[in-house]
């Protein structure tokens, strides 16, 4: 008797502890990344508490503009949810539309952040080496911005692969994994915005 095993997408069939390998890998990556962001935020808090001349964020940073940027990023999480929902219903066109909207939200976020950095550096004279506030501000927002940039690239890869027919109602785990990453990036920004801009 001849036995044939067909595995068109083996990464979706391989499991670790009962969960798809890709999802477990992403959760492990996000856990390690959460520790990194946690340490950066804790360092920011420790330096801020230990400094007698820490500037008031609202006197330096553009809070309304960053609040708008935060809103844009939160909206991009909504479009990510809609993208996953679309493909789970077999709607490839909907997946591509909402993935593109999510990537556009991320790109808009990066554009506004670049505008803010340009103003802070060129107009206000802030530099990484100026003081502890500048060092922690640019480190935290820059590290997060790098994650958003990687997320936008990741989403565009999903967009183009969807156009090649890689995802269906039954085969969409990679879209879900991309969603996990994107929601993590959004959640981290809410923490950064709260600790660095508002408190």
Domains of the chain and any CATH numbers: 17-51+61-198 (1.20.120.80)
Q: What is the pLDDT along the chain (199 residues), one digit of tens a residue?
A: 444 443 445 555 556 555 677 788 899 999 999 999 999 999 888 888 888 778 888 888 899 999 999 999 999 999 999 999 999 999 999 999 999 999 999 999 999 999 999 998 888 777 777 788 888 888 999 999 999 999 999 999 999 999 999 988 899 999 999 999 999 999 999 999 999 888 8
- Please name the residues in contact with 88: beta carbons below 8 A apart, sequence gap of 6 or more: 169, 172
The Cα–Cα gap between 171 and 173 comes to: 6
């Amino acid at each position: 008797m001849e036995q044939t095993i067909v595995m068109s997408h083996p990464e979706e069939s391989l499991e670790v502890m009962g969960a798809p390998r890709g999802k477990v890998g992403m959760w492990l990556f996000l856990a390690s990344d959460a520790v990194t962001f946690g340490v950066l935020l804790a360092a920011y808090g420790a330096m801020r508490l230990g400094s007698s001349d820490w500037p008031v964020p609202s006197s330096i940073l553009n809070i309304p503009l960053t609040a708008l940027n935060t809103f844009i990023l939160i909206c991009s999480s909504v479009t990510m949810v809609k993208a996953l929902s679309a493909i789970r219903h077999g709607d490839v066109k909907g997946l591509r539309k909402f993935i593109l909207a999510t990537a556009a939200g991320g790109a808009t976020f990066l554009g506004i952040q670049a505008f803010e950095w340009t103003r802070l550096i060129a107009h206000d004279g802030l530099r990484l080496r100026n003081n502890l506030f500048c060092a922690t501000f640019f480190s935290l927002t820059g590290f997060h911005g790098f994650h958003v940039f990687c997320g936008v690239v990741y989403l565009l890869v999903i967009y183009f692969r969807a156009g090649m027919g890689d995802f269906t109602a039954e085969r969409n785990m990679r879209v879900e994994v991309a969603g996990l990453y994107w929601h993590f990036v959004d959640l981290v920004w809410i923490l950064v915005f709260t600790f660095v801009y508002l408190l």
